[in-house]
Amino acid sequence: MDRTTTAAAVAAVLAVATLGLAPHQARAATPPAEQTEQAGQAGQASGITFHDIPGSGGITLKGNVWTPAGAAPGRTYPLIVLPTSWAMPQIEYVAQAKQLADSGYVVVSYTSRGFWLSGGQIEVAGPPDVADVSAVIDWALARTPADPARIGVGGVSYGAGISLQAAGQDHRIKAVVALSGWADLIESIYSGRTQHLQAAGLLGVSGALTGRPGPELRQVLGDFLASRLDKEDEMIAWGRLRSPAAQVDRINAGGAAVMLGNAWGDTIFPPNQYAAFYERLTGPKRLEFRPGDHATAEGLGLFGLPDDTWTNARRWFDHHLGGVANGIDREQPVQLKSRTSDGYEGYPDWKSVGAAGTEKLALNDSEHLWANVDSGANGGVLLLSAALDQFVKAPPTASVPLLPRAFAAVWQSERYDAARRIRGTVTLHTTVTPTHGDGTFVAYLYDVGPLGIGKLVSNAPYTFHGKAPGQAFGVDLELFSTAYDVPAGHRLALVIDTVDPLYIEHNPTGAQLTFSSPRADPSYLSVPLREQ
């Protein structure tokens, strides 16, 4: 689920070396959180030790512990537990853990079970992973000056999913920071009932290279990639067991303060499922969306560089574990950063995003296309395309006038005389008539400039099975949520084709699709807007 590269591991090791740290080396520590500034001015530093930590079921987890300097006998400090991301070793959080410890926290990070030198098999945030979090908390309370009343968990990607799952099972957890994670595993890599090929492939390959996938994971992943529809119910049940959204009531009952962060272009865990989960939380909560792809929004912070995501994560822990009056509780809880402009926008809740008005684009013209051919419109490359959008404002593009109309359906708005500030989730309502019972199509929304070059605003796949050939049926499809400003003089274009390298398609050879707009049920694209 995270990129697993030698470069990342080497960089993390270099970060440890730069900090002058060695295994089993403890240093004089800093005072508690409320004295952080004075400690920093005094030049004191926290220390790290490496440990074998008993996990659930008798396995051993490889972990490290950061402790505040000068911890007085009998004094306790807030505890933060950080499970590692998919395929990452225990040094992943070394830079952020040090900063937290310098602020007066006990921080325990460990390699998730089944990866690297930790024992067990990869469970994909299943019950053993959740039990590991509680086991690590137990160990930390017995072996470190951790305060049992002030416990937080957090992490990136896989660590985020495990942390949210743990908050539903262990109500000692009072605060959670879940970055680039998932709330609904099915809606993440099987949205629109379409297998997200590159995402699942990366999961399988990186897991096999850095860990030990168990037989259940190998079976489920094999069935998923092989499109075993006879196994679909089993795969969905397996994913639901690993989805925090399925136990949101337990999370709410525990009352943990939950901060969620993700990127608009996350090609592994799209933002929609996080936003829906956020709305169901009833305790203290915060939702942040920024430009980027999977884990790129917080990636710089993992190397100790300035990072808004990690800054707010520390503020979240400071307030909800340390009682620091830093104002984060008084800010609008939903914070969004547009892909095309700087600065953040605050909203009282997700429902208020795009609530200023909705523009409906009528899709009046009937469009007919042949399947099985990539028209040139696509969602980009996993992890790369949205990262380019984040750092150099270069999303995937297509020349809309040159798209072959035999393989791409195209509808365009008029040119806008004023900018359109898209915020939230664009939805498509249309009628489809297939020549075969099974099929897949992908919808793309483009910002089209004067020369016809379209910049990708959003996309989403849709797959159907068992339909009657030649009979029309209605489709309602949510595109992946976004925040994007369309300049004046540009227009929006909806493009639909049937092949995208990001997804597995289910179109039989020779299949054709017709998109129409019956008078009794007109087709349209609904675009949520923010006030100008």
Over range 328-342, report the average pLDDT.
Answer: 96
Q: Residue 441: what pLDDT?
A: 98
Mean pLDDT value across the chain:
91
pLDDT for residue 3 is more than 80: no
Who has greater pLDDT, 24 or 169?
A: 169
Note whether 157 and 1 are within 8 A (CB).
Answer: yes
Over range 508-522, report the average pLDDT.
Answer: 97
Q: Hey, which bits of 367-479 come out as E strands?
A: 367-370, 397-399, 409-412, 420-424, 427-434, 439-448, 453-464, 473-478
Which residue has 């795009």 as its token pair? Answer: 354
pLDDT for residue 488 is more than 80: yes
The β-bridge partners of 259 are 177, 286
Which residue has 């793309």 as its token pair? Answer: 444
How many Cα atoms are found within 13 Å in the side-chain-facing hemisphere of 127?
3
pTM of the shown model: 0.90
For 280, which DSSP code?
H
User: In terms of C-beta density within 10 A (0-12 exposed, 13-18 middle, 19 or more buried), how is residue 269 classed?
Assistant: buried
Q: Residue 356: what pLDDT?
A: 81
For 414, which DSSP code?
P
Q: Residue 344: what pLDDT?
A: 96
Q: Residue 120: what pLDDT?
A: 98
Per-residue pLDDT band at 385 (split at 50, 70, 90)? very high
Helix (H) or strand (E) holding 241: helix 232-241
Q: pLDDT tens for residues 52-66?
A: 999 999 999 999 999
**313/324 Cα distance (integer angstroms):** 13
pLDDT for residue 6 is more than 80: no
Closest CA to 13 of 302, 308, 210: 302
What angle is formed at CA 467 by the lines to CA 462 and CA 469, rounded to 5 degrees? 115
pLDDT for residue 16 is more than 60: no
Q: Residue 19: what pLDDT?
A: 30
Alpha carbon dihedral 245, 250, 252, 255, in 10-degree steps, equals: -130
Closest CA to 482 of 396, 422, 419, 420: 422
Q: Residue 70: what pLDDT?
A: 79
Over range 102-115, report the average pLDDT.
Answer: 97
Q: Which residues contact 232 (CB under 8 A, 6 or more apart)?
A: none
Q: Residue 31: what pLDDT?
A: 30
Q: Residue 46: what pLDDT?
A: 75
The β-bridge partners of 429 are 476, 524
**129/119 Cα distance (integer angstroms):** 11
Who has greater pLDDT, 378 or 26?
A: 378
Structural tokens at position 151 = 């416990």
Q: Tell me the one-letter amino acid at 18.
A: T
Q: Which residues contact 294 (CB under 8 A, 6 or more apart)?
A: 1, 2, 3, 157, 180, 263, 266, 267, 268, 269, 382, 383
Note whether 164 and 178 are within 8 A (CB).
Answer: yes
Closest CA to 440 of 361, 513, 524: 513
Over range 470-492, report the average pLDDT.
Answer: 98
Over range 251-255, report the average pLDDT.
Answer: 98
Q: Tell me the one-letter amino acid at 475.
A: V
Buried b (16+ CB within 10 A) or exposed e, 159-185: bbbbbbbbbbbbebbbbbbbbbbbbbb
**512/494 Cα distance (integer angstroms):** 19
Q: pLDDT tens for residues 360-383?
A: 999 999 999 999 999 999 999 999
Q: Residue 10: what pLDDT?
A: 29
Helices and strands: H and E segment counts in the chain = 14, 23
Instruction: For residue 58, give the 3-state DSSP assignment.
Output: helix
Instruction: For residue 281, give the 3-state DSSP assignment.
Output: coil
pLDDT for residue 27 is more than 90: no
Per-residue pLDDT band at 154 (split at 50, 70, 90)? very high
Alpha carbon 279 to its chain centroid, in Å, reads: 16
Alpha-helix residue ranges (DSSP H) falling in 260-329: 271-280, 296-302, 308-322
Q: Residue 44: what pLDDT?
A: 53
Q: Residue 22: what pLDDT?
A: 30
Backbone angles phi, psi at 122, to 5 degrees: -65, 125
The β-bridge partners of 202 are none
Q: pLDDT tens for residues 121-149?
A: 999 999 999 999 999 999 999 999 999 99
Q: Residue 45: what pLDDT?
A: 67
Q: pLDDT tens for residues 407-459?
A: 999 999 999 999 999 999 999 999 999 999 999 999 999 999 999 999 999 99
